[in-house]
Chains A and B, each alone.
Chain A
Amino acid sequence: MDVVVQLQRQLADHTASLFHEGFLNDQFNQLQQLQDESNPDFVVEVVSLFFEDSERLLNELAKALEQQAVDYKKVDAHVHQLKGSSSSIGAQRVQGVCIPFRNFCEEQNIEGCLKCLQQVKHEYSLVKNKLETLFKLEQQLIAAGGSFPTL
């Protein structure tokens, strides 16, 4: 029972910090509110899709920016998709980097694009890490016999 309270507190603190530090925004709350008994893994499933999408797109971006003659339309299309999926799950900081990234694409600024790629990779790995921790805490809480309220 103490373990449950402790885990609940850890989970609440971790979740709060994700919002305070701007990693997640209200859209993530929307996702949690959609989850119910008929689909108890909804959030994990959607976030997993985000991970898959992002990893694929980051690879494509790296390849596209390595080319001798960079196809900026293609790069922009990938960034647009990344912006879309990050926005759909509320990954605010990843979404945020996509905005200057698209501007650099329009300007065909390779330096700017490469810098943004590094930044977006960094933000992605941070939010991925934190979301994985969140899910782990949730699993531990359930295993300990507790439950977590949806915000």
Chain B
Amino acid sequence: MRMASSSSSSFSSASMALGDEKPHVLAVDDSLLDRKLIEKLLTNSSCKVTTAENGQKALELLGLGDGQHTLNSIASKVNLIITDYCMPGMTGYELLKKIKESPTMKDIPVVIVSSENVPTRIKKCLDEGAEEFMLKPLQKSDVNRLRCQLTKFSNPHKGMLCMGR
């Protein structure tokens, strides 16, 4: 069993299936090597991928940066956020908190990945609402599992932000 701990839910908070649409994943990691790896893992699993090199950039992509509006962001399309834990500046945990504080983004599942198996760290992330905590390096089997769980989940805000406001 590669995972450090089991998930807290099965992503199935909505009964809508994704149908033919590819899930869109936002992957956050300060290592270019790891971004390249996660991107390939995800595209090989038929996911659309956007990457960000730090928490700040991730928030901007989600329209949660200072003074931003989510209207022109990818926020309405993202089905999953995968973030590294150890990043300079904003850690994955801090990013998780910001996402969970956002009324528009809090329902998007967030998965934390780390090279270190630290029980207190894992608990902290799960308590803050992370769907899962996974160990690096991620493998095809990990992504396959995430992918299966994703097909049961659909971003409840998909389509809503497109209505004129």
Chain A residues within 8 Å of B32, by CB? 49, 53
Contact of A125 with B by CB under 8 A: no
0/1 per residue, B117-160, Cβ < 8 Å to A?
00000000000000000001101100000000000000000000
Contact of B106 with A by CB under 8 A: no
Q: Is A45 a contact of B36 with CB atoms below 8 Å?
A: yes
Q: Is B33 a contact of A50 with CB atoms below 8 Å?
A: yes
Q: How far is the CA of A39 from the CA of B41 in the complex (A)?
A: 12
Q: Which residues of A approach B to under 8 Å, CB–CB?
A: 27, 30-31, 33-34, 36, 39, 42, 45-46, 49-50, 53, 80-81, 83-85, 87-89
Q: Which residues of B approach A to under 8 Å, CB–CB?
A: 31-34, 36-37, 40-41, 44, 86, 115, 136-137, 139-140
Sample of 6 A–B contacts (CB below 8 Å): A27-B137, A31-B37, A34-B140, A87-B115, A88-B31, A88-B137
Q: Which residue in chain A gives the minimum CB-CB distance to B141?
A: A30
Contact of B136 among A33, A34, A45, A88 (CB under 8 A): A88
The dominant DSSP class at the B interface is: helix
Q: How far is the CA of A29 from the CA of B140 in the complex (A)?
A: 11
Q: How far is the CA of A80 from the CA of B31 in the complex (A)?
A: 12
Q: Is B44 a contact of A36 with CB atoms below 8 Å?
A: yes
| A-B contacts, CB under 8 A, total | 47
Q: Which residue in chain A gives the minimum CB-CB distance to B88?
A: A77
Contact of B137 among A30, A33, A80 (CB under 8 A): A30
Q: Is B86 a contact of A80 with CB atoms below 8 Å?
A: yes
Chain A residues within 8 Å of B136, by CB? 84, 87-88
Q: Is A84 a contact of B34 with CB atoms below 8 Å?
A: yes
Query: Closest 8 CB pairs between A and B?
Result: A49-B33, A88-B137, A34-B40, A85-B33, A84-B115, A30-B139, A88-B33, A27-B137
Give the interface centre of A36, A39, A87, A88 by most chain B CB atoms within 10 Å: A88
- Are A30 and B36 CB-contacts (below 8 A) given A36-B44, A84-B31, A84-B115? no
User: How far does the Cβ of A24 sit from chain B's closest Cβ, in whole Å?
Assistant: 13
Q: Is A87 a contact of B33 with CB atoms below 8 Å?
A: no
Q: Which residue in chain B gives the minimum CB-CB distance to A33?
A: B140
- Are A81 and B31 CB-contacts (below 8 A) given A30-B139, A30-B140, A34-B44? yes
